[in-house]
Chains A and B, each alone.
Chain A
Amino acid sequence: MKRLKIIWLIGISLFLLTGCWDRRETNDLWVVTGVGLDQTEDGEIEVTVEIHSPNSDGGEGMGGESSQVGGNKMIHQTGKGISIPKAIEDLDTQLPREILWSHTKAIVINKALAETGIREELDFLIRHPEPRLRSYVFISEGSAKDIMALLPPLERSSSEVLIELAKSEVLMKVTLFDLMEMLKGESDAAILPMVDKLPPEEGEQPLETNAYINQSAILKNGKMVGSIDDRLTRGVLWFRDEIKEATVTVQPENADGLISMNLIKGTTKLIPEIDGNQLKMTVQIETIDDVIQNKTNWDLNEIEKQRILEKELAEAIETRLTDTLEIVQKEMKADIIEFGEEFRRKHPEQWKGIKKDWEERFPSVEVTFDIEAKILRTGQGNVPW
């Protein structure tokens, strides 16, 4: 009985102790959904946060109005400093509430900052416990602040738009974790989606528009060296075996129009080979497509026509990939297509020797293509009217 009393006493006094030291009520938090990193002309870093502004009249009415879609509910705040932590410190002085970084899902870095190098700045985001490694990273053509400040007509916020764009996987989708791996990997080259403002519709406010991804930024040694357009980006996606959405339009010989095909499945295998001093890479691609538009007078039910079409499709893909190589391998010399990784995996011993001068040797890798394309469905209509 006495023991029970003692246990009770200890138990009760536990609640009197100062627990709750890291308790944070949501009323005292500002949830950051997106971050923009800019480099100003005087070399300082500018951090722009997109904060969800809590609707303070949430308790009124029947509670439904608080979640109106597309309403202006975002606050944008910018802090300046010589480094990101300094800039955030500056930001903290401006904000009356604590910042919750855990829901930051879009990180936009402006081109100027990317060109001077992002590795050191990313270190903060990776080291800090709150931001997620699953947040998406973008490079902006103009200032990241402007991208963040957009008021998209449909989505809740600008970062929401960016997240959805990345998720659609039409072009590059790179998370902080992916980027970390790319920068740490064998080749030390990275590719990031680039965003720009869509010109606003006529009659709309200048800010009422979306951001969109139109090209990809290529980074070498953590510094941006150039960009490639959407067509070549898809070429890179083919190499990286990340292609999910693709439409290929070909004009077969002897045909009087175009045929468009939609990708159902595409898999890429990179087969490295070391032949003496010559590095060779075979790119083996298997793809299955559907015909989605037939502007010719071909009857696609004929097997021969399908065979021709499949050949055309393979050729179209090959052309695209060769073009991509031309820029990426020969011009930029950035191994964003992860050839180095493949060599390391297949020939780890030789790789040790190659690695040192990989940057010089990468452009000389001989690439051969082995593309097998198949048409799965040609659709119901046989011949267009």
Chain B
Amino acid sequence: MFNRKKFKFNRNKERQIDEEVLKPLYSNLEKNTEVLNFLYEDCSDVIFRSFVIADQIKAQLVYIKGMSNIEEIDSNVLTPLMQQTDQKSVNPRLLIEQRVSVAEITKIESFDTCVEQLSVGNPILLLDGDQQGYALGLAKWEKRAIEEPSGELVVRGPREGFTESVEVNTSLLRRKIKSPQLKMKTLKVGSYTQTTIMITYIQDLSDETLIEEITQRIKRIDIDGILESGYIEELIQDNSYSPFPQVLVTERPDTAVSNLLEGRVVIVVDGTPFVLIAPTTFYSLFQSGEDYYHHFIISTATRWLRFLFLFISLLLPSLYVAVITYHQEMVPTTLLLTMVDSREAIPFPALVEALLMEITFEGLREAGLRLPKQVGAAVSIVGALVIGQAAVAAGLVSDPMVMVVALTGIASFTIPRYNIAIPFRLLRFPIMLLAGTFGLLGIMIGLLAIIIHLSTLRSFGVPYLSPMAPMKRRDLKDTLIRAPLWKLNTRPHLTGEYNKYRQSSNQKPFPEKESGEE
């Protein structure tokens, strides 16, 4: 199980461990203990507790401090076994079945399963004369409570978010989807971390080949450790040079479940509250789970607002630069005269001015993100000065530029998902350079390049811009608009084709006819 052979360590011990760990357990307790002692040499958090059952059978209990429930071990394992005084022909296996009151007991036959069970916190009980070990399901370690996900806040909707524990996360999914059709396949990735990865899907909704493809891509990963789902995302996505995310990342169980119901696959990674959803499309990255909880007219308006602000966030500084340096005739006269006034004393070209301010803003944003909370207030005060009136008073930038930067800043925060906001924030700069060199023509070149790139992207075989390109009219009901729920009858074309209809049609509510009327 440990792929350490591939690394160039030639130490004897390494090799010895690899050999030992693959061996089955011995029937001799002393020998077993010796091997475990050797494996866990210098691991002071691993506790070996030897005791005797009924004055005859020697036993060894191994567990890792802080990962197992000690009270339960005391009361349900040690106490009944040690108080066993009946000396007549004690059968150790029977004894475990009769005396140990633990719900989950796994039988262990080799050292590698032994190590695996120990590392998830399950104590191991080894008996002399028994070639089997017993892993007791008494793992218990400190977990964070389920909290509201701070990265995806909603006004209306469930307040629970995924946590760092894969068990909790899958239970959150299972709590929402009661059907046994919800399947979870477990994989372990990371030669040292052995991180649990759950591929979750609904049988008969998801494409078998999609699940197969995802499984294959994850299995292909050979890495020493997986610390976050970002590792997996980067190692399985289709186009790794694209700045655009090709996997949806969420902290919200409701978002994950709604994607499961559309035939997508949720990848839960142990140790992070962020689960991955694949495949995804460009448009679903601009949707918030909340869209489906509010009235459809409001949700549609919100979506339009997001797209409007997407364009502002991408293009506004470039448009300003292009218009003020090349296309002065496009500005209303009064506005132009005011802009001319405020730009009169500025020493830089508009492009330099825009770059200066935008880079400063991005710097401030990053600073505000990473700084400890106590310092944050200071940053916002300084920030307000830097991108505020002080910059104008210092004669570095003009009034309209401050306005443009502020609006762009706000616009980039209206995009509900952080990972899709970043590429647009980044692409703003090349487009600004294009606008400064070629004017509006440059902006068009930049936009075309982005659109061409987006249309070549695929996420696990699904075109990134679908259902717009390729056009699938049926799916337009849930892209730029959010049709009423009683109209969302079918699942998305490319992921939910295997079970096309999600509900019966004609569900538009209407008032009951009064009984007197015919």
> Is B333 in contact with A58, judged by CB distance below 8 angstroms?
no
Judging by beta carbons under 8 Å apart, are B340 and A57 in contact?
A: no
Interface bits A42-66 vs B (CB < 8 Å: 1, else 0): 0000000000101111111111001
- From residue 1 to 15 of chain A, which have CB atoms closer than 8 A to chain B? 15
Out of A19, A29, A66, A103, which one reaches B341, CB within 8 Å? A66
Inter-chain CA distance A62–B394, complex, in Å, is 11
Q: Say yes or no: B326 contacts A22, CB within 8 Å.
A: yes
Question: Which residues of chain B are near A31, meaning CB under 8 Å?
Answer: 328, 333, 336-337, 340
Contact B344 A24 (CB under 8 A): no
> Which residues from chain B contact A357 at a C-beta distance below 8 Å?
none
A24, closest chain B residue (CB)? B325
Check A23 against B326 for contact (C-beta < 8 Å).
Answer: yes
User: Known contacts being A20-B437, A31-B336, A55-B341, is A62 close to B389, with CB within 8 Å?
Assistant: yes
* Candidates B333, B337, B345, B349; contact of A25 at CB < 8 Å: B349
From the candidates A54, A102, A103, name the one contacting B344 in the complex (CB within 8 A).
Answer: A54
What chain A residues lie within 8 Å of B337 (beta carbons)? 31, 33, 52, 156
> Nearest Cβ in chain A — how far from B227, in angstroms?
28
Q: Which residues of A lie under 8 Å from residue B394 when comparing CB positions?
A: 59
- Whole-angstrom distance from the CB of B229 to the nearest CB of chain A? 28
Residues 306-344 of B contacting A (Cβ, < 8 Å): 324-326, 328-329, 333-334, 336-344
Is B395 close to A, CB under 8 A?
Answer: yes
Give 9 closest A-B pairs by Cβ, nearest first. A102-B329, A19-B437, A54-B344, A59-B345, A59-B395, A58-B341, A103-B333, A55-B341, A66-B341
**What's the minimum C-beta distance from A222 to chain B, rounded to whole angstroms?**
28
Instruction: Assess whether A54 is in contact with B340, with CB atoms less than 8 Å apart.
Output: yes
In contact, A57 and B345 (Cβ under 8 angstroms): yes
Pair B328/A24 contact, Cβ less than 8 Å: yes
**A27 and B336 form a contact (CB under 8 A):** no
Q: How far is the CA of A21 from the CA of B343 in the complex (A)?
A: 20
Interface string of B422-439 (1 = CB under 8 A from A): 000000000001001111
Is A15 within 8 A of B437, CB to CB?
yes
Query: Looking at chain B's contact residues, is the secondary structure mostly helix, strand, loop, or mixed?
Result: helix
Among B330-379, those with CB < 8 Å from A are: 333-334, 336-346, 349-350
Q: Which of B338, B346, B395, B436 contacts A27 (CB 8 A)?
A: B346
Decide: A105 near B328, CB < 8 A? Known: A27-B343, A58-B341.
Answer: no
Please tell me if the beta carbons of B328 and A60 are within 8 angstroms of each other in the complex: no
- B437 touching A58 by the CB < 8 A rule? no
Is B392 on the interface with A (CB-CB < 8 A)?
yes
Report how far A291 CA is from B346 CA in the complex, Å. 57
* Residue among B333, B349, B436, B437 with max Cβ neighbours from chain A (10 Å): B333
B393 interface residue per 8 A CB criterion: yes
* A102 CA / B326 CA spacing, docked (Å): 12
Residues of A within 8 A of B336 (CB): 26, 31, 103
B336, B340, B342, B349 interface centre (most CB from chain A within 10 Å): B340
Assembly CA distance A55 to B346 (angstroms): 12
Q: A63-B392, A66-B342, A67-B338 are in contact. Are A26 and B324 (CB under 8 A)?
A: yes
